[in-house]
Amino acid sequence: MRKLLFIFGLGSLVLGSYYYYRKQLKLLADISFKVVGVKIVEYSPFKLQINTEITNNSEISFTISGYDIDVIVNGKEIGQVKNSSLNQKLEGFGGKSQINFFTTFNPQETGLLSGGLSSILSNVLDTLGDTTIKLKGRVSVKRGLFVYSNYPIDFTYKLEDFL
């Protein structure tokens, strides 16, 4: 009888841990963000500071501890957003947090002298309604004692969503 109770308890613990893990992975799906400002930091290499307001619509608070995201505009990878030492807590139940992302642009795609930036801007202005911005990469999230490193994200937006 003890053996059966032990196996049942162990099974319940494993099943509960699995469902807790799945719930943690769904946290990022309940996040919304909006761009509240853009500032040019450097011209060579071209860097932008993108100020965002992130809203955590889930009921659980957690901390973003890092990210490595590629920025893709109309199918061209034009930049990266990286930070491995962020420690930004996102409160649950609609809590809002301000995060500043520093974007470094790919010099082959945005070379100021080679016309890369002007060709991207020209392409964006020509297809303003059809311009897509894709953010693809990995985010590290902490919740209590658990750390979920390299959680994949893949968001696609139309440019008009930002305007």
Please give the full DSSP string across 66-100, using - where no structure is assigned: EEEEEEEETTEEEEEEEESS--EEE-TTTEEEEEE
The rounded distance, in Å, linking the Cα atoms of 58 and 78 is 31
CB 58 within 8 A of CB 27: yes
Q: With helix as H, strand as E and coil as C, how does 122-144 read?
A: HHHHHCHHHCEEEEEEEEEEEEC
Residue 113: what pLDDT?
A: 47
Instruction: Kindly report, residue by residue over 54-73, the tens digit of the pLDDT.
Output: 888 877 788 888 889 898 88
pTM here is: 0.67
Neighbours of 78 (CB within 10 A): 20
Has residue 130 got a pLDDT over 80? no
Q: Which band of pLDDT confidence, cut at 50, 70 and 90, is reported for residue 126? A: low
Choose between 37 and 162: higher pLDDT.
37
CB 105 within 8 A of CB 77: no
Residue 2: enclosing H or E segment and its boundaries? Answer: helix 2-25
In Å, what is the CA distance from 162 to each residue of 5, 128, 129?
Answer: 56, 11, 11
The rounded distance, in Å, linking the Cα atoms of 32 and 30 is 7
Mean of the per-residue pLDDT values for the chain? 77
Is 47 strand, coil or helix? Answer: strand
Q: What is the CATH number of domain 2-162?
A: 2.60.40
Q: Which band of pLDDT confidence, cut at 50, 70 and 90, is reported for residue 11? A: confident
Q: What is the mean pLDDT of residues 15-34?
A: 74
Calculate what percentage of the chain has a pLDDT beyond 90: 0
The rounded distance, in Å, linking the Cα atoms of 64 and 78 is 24
Instruction: Kindly report, residue by residue over 73-117, the tens digit of the pLDDT.
Output: 878 888 888 887 888 888 888 889 888 888 887 666 555 445 555
